[in-house]
Amino acid sequence: MYEVEKRALLSKLISDNEFVTAPGVYDMISAKIANQMPFQALYMTGYGIAASHLGVPDAGIASFADVVSRVRTLSKGTNLPLICDADTGFGGLLNVLHTVRGYEDAGCSAIQIEDQETPKKCGHTPGRSVVALADMVEKIKVAAEARSDPNFLIIARTDSRTTLGLSEAIKRGKAFEDAGADIIFVESPETIGELQEIGKTFEKPVLANMSNGGKTPILSAAELKEIGFSVGIFPGIGMLTAAAALQSAYTSLLTKGTSENLDVPITELTEMHKLMGFEEVWAFEQKWARNNTE
C-alpha cells in the first residue's frame, strides 16, 4: 500500500471512531510478524529502536539520522500504517520542521512529539522534566505547518504528569489541541481513574500507552475505547517477550550444550524462510536460471 494510502486509512479509522490497536515493533522481524496480522497500525517504539539498532538506552542518544532510517525501513517493509516515535523532534523548531518532513518522506503515517527537555528519557523512567508550555505549543504549530499531507497525523505527548501532576498534563493537552495536534497523548497516568479522566476530557482523539512494567495500569483495547480513547499503543510487547525468549534459549544452550528441547517456542526454519521472502527469491532464481535462457 502506498504511504499516502496508509495515512488516509489511519486518519479515516480514527475519524470513524474505530479503535486503533498498534503493537510495538522495533526491527524488521517484529514488523513482518505483526504485519501479517489484522492490526489497524504498527507502532515504532523509540525505546526499541535505540535498543535494537544501537544497543543504548532511550535517553536521547539516538539521533534523527539514526531513527529516520529505521522509519523508512519499517514503512517500506510493511503495508500497515506506521505510528512513529520522534522524541522531542530532535531539537528546536528548525529540527522539528526537518523531522516532520523527514518522517513523512520516509513513510510514517503519524508522528509523536513530546514536551520533554533535552536529553529526553523513556516516559516510564524517573528524572524527566518538561519544557515551557509555550515552547511545546510552538513545536506543534511548526509540525502541523511542515507536513505536506493533511492525513499525516501529529501526536502531541506531554510527560508532565509525573512531576507536575495530572491537572498540568490536562492543561497542556488542551493547549496542544488548540495548537493543531491531531491526537493527544498524556504519558504515564498512574491509575484507572486518571485514564478515565483523560479519556473524557479532550475534544481531539486521545492515545493511551500500555507499557508493560510501567506506571500506567494495562487495560484492554475494549476497555480503553469504552473510557474514551481512540488509539492504544503496546510498545513493549514485542521486545520484552523476545528478550525473555532469547534469555531462556541462550541459557538452555549454555547449560545443556544443545539447541534441542528448548523451554520456549521456536519458529520452524521453513516458516522463517517464508517470513523473510525466500520463496520469492527461489521463484526469481528458477525463472532466470541459465538453463532457462539458453
- pLDDT per residue over 184-215, tens digit each? 999 999 999 999 999 999 999 999 999 999 99
Which range among 105-119, 122-136, 243-257 shows the weakest confidence by mean pLDDT? Answer: 122-136
In this prediction, residue 60 carries a pLDDT of 87
Tell me: pLDDT of 292 over 70.
Answer: no
In this prediction, residue 24 carries a pLDDT of 98
Tell me: pLDDT of 127 over 80.
Answer: no
> Mapped to the 3 state alphabet, what secondary structure does the chain carry?
CCHHHHHHHHHHHHHCCCCEEEEEECCHHHHHHHHCCCCCCEEECHHHHHHHHHCCCCCCCCCHHHHHHHHHHHHHCCCCCEEEECCCCCCCHHHHHHHHHHHHHHCCCEEEEECECCCCCCCCCCCCCECCHHHHHHHHHHHHHHCCCCCCEEEEEECCHHHHCHHHHHHHHHHHHHHCCCEEEECCCCCHHHHHHHHHHCCCCEEEECCCCCCCCCCCHHHHHHCCCCEEEECCHHHHHHHHHHHHHHHHHHHHCCCCCCCCCCCCHHHHHHHHCHHHHHHHHHHCCHHHHC
Tell me: pLDDT of 293 over 70.
Answer: no
In this prediction, residue 291 carries a pLDDT of 60
Which range among 119-123, 149-153, 209-213 shows the weakest confidence by mean pLDDT? Answer: 119-123
Cα–Cα distance, 21 to 231 (Å, whole number): 6
Dihedral Cα 227, 232, 236, 239, nearest 10 deg: 150
Tell me: pLDDT of 294 over 70.
Answer: no
Hey, what domains does the chain have and what are their CATH numbers? 3-242 (3.20.20.60), 264-293 (no CATH)
Q: What is the mean pLDDT of residues 75-100?
A: 97
Tell me: pLDDT of 121 over 80.
Answer: no
In this prediction, residue 35 carries a pLDDT of 97
In this prediction, residue 39 carries a pLDDT of 98
Cell of 210: 500500555
Angle at 164 between CA 158 and CA 170, to 5 degrees: 50
In this prediction, residue 242 carries a pLDDT of 97
In this prediction, residue 119 carries a pLDDT of 78
In this prediction, residue 124 carries a pLDDT of 76
Q: Are 175 and 133 in contact (CB under 8 A)?
A: yes
- The percent of residues above 70 in pLDDT, for the chain, comes to 98
Tell me: pLDDT of 143 over 60.
Answer: yes
Q: Model confidence over 212-265: pLDDT tens digits?
A: 999 999 999 999 999 999 999 999 999 999 999 999 999 999 999 999 999 899
Q: Model confidence over 24-72: pLDDT tens digits?
A: 999 999 999 999 999 999 999 999 999 999 999 988 899 999 999 999 9
Measure Cα distances from 188 to 71, 207, 269 in Å. 25, 11, 40
In this prediction, residue 186 carries a pLDDT of 98
For residue 176, give every residue at least 6 positions away whose Cβ sits within 8 Å of its Cβ, in sequence order, or none.
136, 137, 140, 156, 158, 184
Count of CB atoms situated within 10 Å of the CB of 206: 22
Cell of 278: 525466500
pTM, two decimals, is 0.94
**Mean predicted lDDT score pLDDT of the chain:** 95
Tell me: pLDDT of 279 over 80.
Answer: yes
